[in-house]
A and B are shown apart, each in its own frame.
Chain A
Amino acid sequence: MNHFRTFAAVSALMMTTTGVLADEIRVLNWQGYGTDLGWAVEAFEKATGDTVVHEYFNSEQEMLTKLRTNPGAYDVVLINVAFTPQAREEGLIAPIDKSKVPNLADVSPDFANNDALNADGELWGVPWTWGLTSFAVNTQTVSEIPTSIQVLWDPAYKGRVSIRDDALESVQLGALATGQSINQIDDLDAVEQKLSELMPQIRTFWGSENDWNQFMAAGELDLATYWSGSASRSQASGLPVQFVVPEEGAIGWLDGLSVPATSEHKDAAYAFINWMIDPEFYVRWDKEGAPASANAKAAAALPEDAFNRRVLGDPEVAARVQFQKPVPDETREQYLALWQKLKAAQ
Chain B
Amino acid sequence: MAKAWTRDGLRATALLSPAYLWLTAAVFLPLSAMLYYSLLSDVPFGDAEWRITLDNYRAFFETGTYAALLWKSIRLGLTVTVVCILIGFPCAYVLAKTIRGRSREALFLLIILPFWSNSLVRIFSWAIVLRGNGVLELAVNAVLPFDIRLNLMFTQTAVVIGLVHSYLPYVILTTYLALQAIDDTLIDAARSMGAGKLTILRRLILPLSLPGLLAGAVLVFVPVVGAFMEPRILGGRFGTYYGTVIEDQFVAVFNWPLGAALSFILLAVVLLILALSSPILRRAPA
Contacts of B45 in A (CB 8 A): 65, 68-69
- Report yes or no: A61 in contact with B47, Cβ–Cβ below 8 A: no
Contacts of B76 in A (CB 8 A): none
Across the interface, A204 reaches (CB within 8 A) one of B69, B237, B253, B254, namely B237
Q: B122 at the A/B interface (Cβ < 8 Å)? A: no
- Report yes or no: B65 in contact with A204, Cβ–Cβ below 8 A: no
CA gap between A91 and B47 in the complex, in Å: 9
- Report yes or no: B69 in contact with A346, Cβ–Cβ below 8 A: no
- Report yes or no: B63 in contact with A346, Cβ–Cβ below 8 A: no
Give, as a whole number of angstroms, the nearest-CB distance from B98 to chain A.
Answer: 41
Give, as a whole number of angstroms, the nearest-CB distance from B20 to chain A.
Answer: 32
CA gap between A344 and B63 in the complex, in Å: 11
- Report yes or no: A68 in contact with B47, Cβ–Cβ below 8 A: yes
Q: A343 at the A/B interface (Cβ < 8 Å)? A: yes
- Report yes or no: B69 in contact with A344, Cβ–Cβ below 8 A: yes
> Which B residues between 96 and 136 are near A, CB-CB below 8 angstroms?
131-133
What class of interface size applies to chain A in its complex with B?
Answer: 20 to 34
Across the interface, B237 reaches (CB within 8 A) one of A166, A205, A340, A341, namely A205
CA gap between A15 and B239 in the complex, in Å: 54
- Report yes or no: A59 in contact with B252, Cβ–Cβ below 8 A: yes
Known: A69-B45, A91-B47, A341-B63. A58 touches B251 (CB 8 A): yes
Closest to B237 in A: A202
- Report yes or no: A219 in contact with B133, Cβ–Cβ below 8 A: yes
- Report yes or no: A62 in contact with B254, Cβ–Cβ below 8 A: yes
Q: A20 at the A/B interface (Cβ < 8 Å)? A: no
Across the interface, A220 reaches (CB within 8 A) one of B48, B68, B131, namely B131
Across the interface, A69 reaches (CB within 8 A) one of B46, B63, B68, B235, namely B46
CA gap between A159 and B82 in the complex, in Å: 30
Q: B281 at the A/B interface (Cβ < 8 Å)? A: no
Across the interface, B65 reaches (CB within 8 A) one of A61, A69, A205, A340, namely A340
Give, as a whole number of angstroms, the nearest-CB distance from B162 to chain A.
Answer: 14
Main secondary structure of the interface of B (DSSP, over half): loop
Q: A336 at the A/B interface (Cβ < 8 Å)? A: yes
Interface centre among B43, B240, B251 (most CB of A within 10 A): B240
Q: A81 at the A/B interface (Cβ < 8 Å)? A: no
CA gap between A337 and B43 in the complex, in Å: 19
- Report yes or no: A343 in contact with B240, Cβ–Cβ below 8 A: yes
CA gap between A345 and B72 in the complex, in Å: 10
Contacts of B131 in A (CB 8 A): 218, 220
Give, as a whole number of angstroms, the nearest-CB distance from B249 to chain A.
Answer: 10
Q: A320 at the A/B interface (Cβ < 8 Å)? A: no
Mask of B13-37 contacts with A, CB within 8 angstroms, 1/0: 0000000000000000000000000
- Report yes or no: B47 in contact with A59, Cβ–Cβ below 8 A: no
Q: A199 at the A/B interface (Cβ < 8 Å)? A: yes
Q: B261 at the A/B interface (Cβ < 8 Å)? A: no
Q: A90 at the A/B interface (Cβ < 8 Å)? A: yes
What would 4 more interface pairs be, CB under 8 Å, given A65-B45, A340-B245, A341-B65? A68-B47, A91-B47, A218-B131, A220-B154
* Selected A-B contacts with CB under 8 Å, 24 pairs: A58-B251, A59-B252, A61-B252, A61-B253, A62-B254, A65-B46, A68-B46, A69-B45, A69-B46, A204-B154, A204-B235, A204-B236, A204-B239, A205-B237, A219-B132, A336-B253, A340-B65, A340-B245, A341-B63, A343-B237, A343-B240, A344-B65, A344-B68, A344-B245
Residues of A within 8 A of B (CB): 58-59, 61-62, 64-65, 67-69, 71, 90-91, 166, 199, 202-205, 218-220, 336-337, 340-341, 343-346
Residues of B within 8 A of A (CB): 43, 45-48, 63, 65, 68-69, 72, 131-133, 153-154, 235-240, 245, 251-254
